[in-house]
Amino acid sequence: MRKSTHRLPGLVLSNHEFIVPLDHKKPNAEKITIFAREVVSIEHESKADLPWLVFFQGGPGFPSPRPDSKTGWLKRALKEYRVLLLDQRGTGLSTPVTFQTLAKIGSPQKQADYLKNFRADAIVADAELIRREIIGAGTRWSGLGQSYGGFCLTHYLSTAPEGLKEAIITGGLPPIGVSIDAVYRATYGRVLEKNRRYFARYPADGPLAAEIVECLTRTDVPLPGGGTLTSKRFQELGLGFGFTDGFEAVHYLLEHAFVDGNSGRELSFTFLRGVENALNFETNPIYALLHEACYLEEQASHWAAQRIRAEFPEFDLAPGKPVLFTGEMIYPWMFDDYAYLRPLKQAAQILAEFEGWPRLYTLRTLESGSVPTVAAVYYEDMYVETAFSEQTAAHIPGIRLWVTNEYEHNALRADGEQVLDKLLAMLHGER
């Protein structure tokens, strides 16, 4: 473990690096690095007995937040915790997973075998190793999991509850015992409703989206950073429709769609760059490579999102038909259209066909647990089906649910101080 410290107004931040096994079942084999940033409020800096809170970020494939001020959920957490912002394996300053680093590994089969070690089970095993390293095997810590981070924390509860003092989950109670096909049927249904609301708010965007698709169908449109903007890639802009600002992000992007160029009306550079910036599958490839694997236990996905899409012809593209946006789906064609996913196409196919994913949840352990747990469930969540979250909650003794449509999936980012304050009050029996 290496440590370095720096300061921001009101904050003391210490950087840690840990060496962990790539495969925790083979502790003496290949190693990788895990980065974590410890954050403490400056007035608590010298409190050695301050309890720890480890944060699991959403994704998969995204690093922990980079604090630049004492705001949001972190501000509330620092009133009573020393926070550890964990860069889950493969992300941030942990040993990264990118098309560049995977190229060093070798064949697509070797890449796929390497990537099998980057799910929630390995992330939690990393956290347990780190807990023992920094606070001792006999001391528990608290966990906060947002979105996919909640999947990780639920795995934690079902496999290593002895490491947790308490658990706080926001928008991330995972489906347990639900097929991946059922997950995507529910997701497509939610996305349809988000489209209805989007075009009710911005009706002029319907004809504009149709014009964009017609342009993309008529000619190949290269993107500034490489790859091609196809009609299906354009549809993926609906990925953010489950956030409080998701509609506006797409609407304001479409406002800049066209300019008058040498050849007449054409898609603007501003728009094309904006599309690239909105869809970060290339910079965070774990999201594309392992998203469906988040749901898998002893089964293969066989590109579930693509298969189930056939049951929802509303998303088909045809002349004269309304253009609808898709959501949190990964498709095989993405490994052609995204220039920096292309080198990973064969590995992605191997992962889609892999049937040996270990089980992620041990129901007997989950149902016999005693870790105090609270969870925010967002009633209209586009990414995590409410009914499935409620079913999972039934397996966690004593869990306290806050089911609300006041917030969307990104509530912890949008109003984190208030959201965490309420959940902590529930956890402590004050609400």
**Residues with a known catalytic role:** 147, 381, 409
Q: How many CB atoms lie within 10 A of CB 400?
A: 15
116: nearest Cα among 305, 283, 354: 354
Contact between residue 295 and residue 266 where contact means Cβ atoms under 8 Å apart: no
Cα distance between residue 214 and residue 54, in whole Å: 48
Extract the runs of DSSP E, i.e. beta strands, from 160-287: 164-170, 258-261, 264-267
Cα distance between residue 171 and residue 374, in whole Å: 11
Structure tokens at 100: 């560049």
Cα distance between residue 180 and residue 197, in whole Å: 26
Cα distance between residue 405 and residue 377, in whole Å: 9
Task: Give me the helices (H) in 256-339, please.
Answer: 269-278, 285-290, 304-309, 334-337
Structure tokens at 85: 């912002």
Beta bridge partners, 98, equal none
Task: Please tell me what DSSP assigns to residue 222.
Answer: B
DSSP three-state, residue 331? coil
21: nearest Cα among 86, 95, 100: 95
Structure tokens at 333: 């064609």
Q: Which helix (H) or strand (E) holds 54?
A: strand 52-56
Let me know the angle formed at the C-alpha of 185 by 345 and 358, rounded to the nearest 5 degrees: 55
